[in-house]
Amino acid sequence: MPQPPIAGMMDVFLLKLTEDTKLYKKHLKSAENHANAIRALAQLCENQEVREEYLTRLEEAAGKQGFVDAIRSILGDGKPRSPIQIKNVIVALKKMDLTGYSNPMASIHTTLRRMKKSGEAQEVANLKGEKTYQIIKKG
């Protein structure tokens, strides 16, 4: 009995799906190997700021929320916050897993400094004279 045309199309798509799945698994394994290599090399890096920078970039490259996204979401309400307040909110709301960072405050400060330099955030002194940061509203 001849196979209906729709069955032939499903066979073609099933074959393509099987090939794509094999390729996906191969690339996923390769990505895991690269991520593990970056983590291992970062732990050997003596410069803490460089180490934290690469761990942050790794998180972002892997599609996980990094410091920039976490800080943006925290400062998105317009309320200025100090770096320690930002860290406390990250931890309380589980915005990121900070366990891989030996000094997450260094990464937060670096991220805030970059956001300030790019014009995305500004430094504002609170009533106590402490540095706080807020997102610059555009438009």
Give the number of domains in the chain.
Answer: 1
Residue at 114 is within a domain: yes
Residue at 43 is within a domain: no
Residue at 98 is within a domain: yes
Alpha carbon distance, N-terminus to C-terminus of the chain: 67
Tens-place pLDDT, residues 13-72? 999 999 999 999 999 999 889 988 998 898 898 888 888 788 878 877 877 667 888 999
pTM: 0.61
Domain range for 138: 64-139
Question: Is residue 108 within 8 Å of residue 116, measured between CB atoms?
Answer: no
- Check pLDDT > 70 for residue 3: yes
